[in-house]
Structure 1
Amino acid sequence: QVRHRQSGQIMVLKMNKLTSNRGNMLREGQLMNRLSHPNILRFMGVCVHQGQLHALTEYINGGNLEQLLDSPVPLSWSIRVKLALDIACGLRYLHSKGIFHRDLTSKNCLVRCEANGYTAVVADFGLAEKIPTYSEGSEKEPLAVVGSPYWMAPEVLRGEIYNEKADVFAYGIILCETIARVPADPDYLPRTEDFGLDITTFRTMVEVDCPVTFLQLAFHCCSMDPASRPSFLEITQCLEGVLQHQ
């Protein structure tokens, strides 16, 4: 956490200690500089210190979603649905720019706490990549296997061709964490042998008053078949409907 000498504005300095990381930091900075959305972490610039590039981003005061879900703070269904909608709006915007995140986790979703409630903001674009377009008949080369294992889509873990629908699977895991207030660790969030979600066991962990559409959306996002997962446009529309009925 740093403060700008002239403006007094508080920002976060993302320290980059490895010289080999310089290219990645520059790439992440260039990407973030092109993004502008209330649910995407705001990039403030870079500073150079002893030949190293360090990124400056806005300061978000409430930690991350994983920490909030693990806290004793009561979270109504409308609060949880609103946080889920915030994340979906950020991802809908990101995908509309032809970029997918590839490391979407509850740790990378930050939470701003204000008098009128919580706002979720998507952060950490170090692994973000252009959404691949595979033309018919061409040799399809899978992208590298990257991300955080608990949130990684089955097709990514298997080293297969994957696209932006991998973000939707990760988002589905975040929805499950949010619904049951459990960590994504498979010791707590039940998974199947083939890296999917164990829906039958998970149902037993959900409070009876959970909005049915919210739960069904989580299952839909965690579909084994990437093509059958919804887009973030469909997800935002669904959650707006759920929120209206809360």
Structure 2
Amino acid sequence: MISQWFRSVVKSLTVYKFEDLQIATENFSQYNRIKVSTVYKGSLKGDNIAIKVMQGDVFSEINILQKINHSNILKLSGFCGHDSKTYLVYEWAENGSLSDWLHSKQHQTSITLQWNQRVQIAYDVANAMNYLHKYTTTPYIHKNLKTSNILLDANFRAKISNFGLARSVDKCDQSELQWTWNVVGNPGYMAPEYSKNGVVTPKLDIFALGVVILELLSGRDAATGGTSEDDLLSGFITGVLEGVGNTREKLRGFIDPSLRNEYPLDLAFSMAQLARNCVDYDLNARPSMSELFITLLKILQLSDWYPYDSMSISSGR
């Protein structure tokens, strides 16, 4: 069974020699290590690559990635097995994670993502997720969508990564409920039906993308989760959408100050309302990914007519 799987994988992916990966990463030096992760930057035949070092069962992630092909999903080019470890070789995303750009002090004090870039990123993510939910041979739920798993290429186009928790769903009936006892993920992005009862549906990804949109709007970090008043989700709903006062003006106080009011408030309000629908407590009240995708496309097209700062980012870090 495994040998048959291996033969099919070899047809679509490159099997790298461990020695070549050692050379590419300068023997997996700390200099080439990306933050505190198990991912290393390397250079192979003149091209930059990312190498993810993994232990345990990686068949599922490889099996998914070898079957999918989308410009907004990080491409797996090959792998290597050595000393009970598997080395997954991916394309390199020059501008790192969305989380870094939204939350890192380095970027907050210098350059920032502009309005149009943020809408484009949200659209790119929805595009990739819509592909996973509707247009792959076997539909998939990502289950681990968050800003640290959204990478940005040289043109600041988004690429989804980390499919270790992804699960396939029935193409004929995606509304059918699945359950799991093994609830894994970041609390800040978990839909309530999943975190409390282990219910798994495509609406998990809808909820997580709603949280990502709130992060794009506010610049705040949802990864801390929790139930405090400072929590991103509860703060948005109670502080912006509920209570007395002008909702649009309250939204201004929620928007990332690094945007310096250089954004169309009406479109920001549309984005906020969309995010609110995505994070609805009732999973059946959330939009489908295709509906989310179409709405973001409209907001992106309208944003192109908005004259924003010409100093928007055009190069890497």
| TM-score class, shorter | 0.7 to 0.9
Question: Does 1:100 pair with 2:137?
Answer: no
Give runs of aligned pairs for residues 170-181 of structure 1, distance below 5 A: 170-181=208-219
Give the alignment of 1:43-58 within 5 angstroms. 43-58=76-91
2:201 partner SS: coil
Other-structure match for 1:206: 254
TM score, norm. by length of structure 1: 0.85
Deviation at 1:53? 1.9
Residues 1-150 of structure 1 aligned to structure 2 (within 5 Å): 1-4=41-44, 7-16=45-54, 18=55, 21=56, 23=57, 25-70=58-103, 71-72=107-108, 73-96=111-134, 97=136, 98-114=139-155, 118-131=156-169, 142-143=179-180, 144-150=182-188
Shift of 1:189: 3.7
Q: CA offsets, 1:9-36, max 9 Å, x none?
A: 22111112x3xx1x2x122111111110
Q: Could you list the per-position Cα deviations for residues 110-136 of structure 1 after superposition, in whole angstroms to 9, with x for gaps in the alignment?
A: 01133xxx101100000000125898x
Partners of 1:103 and 1:202 in 2: CA distance: 27
Matched, 1:227 2:260: no
d(CA) in 1 for partners of 2:286 and 2:215?
18
| Equivalent pairs, count | 229
5+ unaligned residues in a row in structure 1: which ranges? none
RMSD over aligned Cα atoms:
2.2
Relative to 1, partners in 2 of residues 1:53 and 1:76: Cα closer, same or farther, differing over 3 Å? closer
Cα distance in 2, alignment partners of residues 45 and 30 from structure 1 = 12
More helix by share: 2
The CA deviation string for residues 174-215 of structure 1, in whole angstroms up to 9 with x for no partner, is 0101101110034644344xxxx7513145442474322111
Letter in 1 for 2:302: H
3-state SS in 2 of match to 1:11: strand
8 Å CA contact 1:39–1:86 kept in 2: the answer is yes
**Alpha-carbon shift at residue 94 of structure 1 (Å):** 1.1
State how far apart, in whole Å, the 2-side matches of 1:35 and 1:152 are: 25
Could you tell me how far apart the structure 2 residues matched to 1:84 and 1:141 are? Answer: 27
TM (normalized to structure 2)?
Answer: 0.67
Counterparts of 1:3 and 1:51, CA distance in 2:
23
Aligned partners of 1:74 and 1:198: how far apart in 2? 22
SS in 1 for 2:124: helix
* Structure 2 unaligned residues grouped into runs of 5+: 1-40, 242-249, 256-260, 304-317
- The residue number in structure 2 matching 1:190 is 232
Residue 147 of structure 2 aligns to a residue whose secondary structure is coil
CA distance in 2, matches of 1:48, 1:141: 33
The residue type equivalent to 2:179 in the other structure is P
After superposition, what is the alpha-carbon deviation per residue over 1:13-64, rounded to whole angstroms, capped at 9, x for unaligned? 1112x3xx1x2x1221111111100000001111122242211111101111
Distance 1:46-1:222 versus aligned 2 partners, 3 A rule: same
Residues 101 and 112 in structure 2, CA contact (< 8 A), matched pair in contact too: no
Counterpart contact for 2:178–2:201, Cα < 8 Å? no
Shift of 1:235: 1.1
1:239 aligns with 2:272: no
On the 8 A contact 1:85/1:240 being kept in 2, the answer is yes
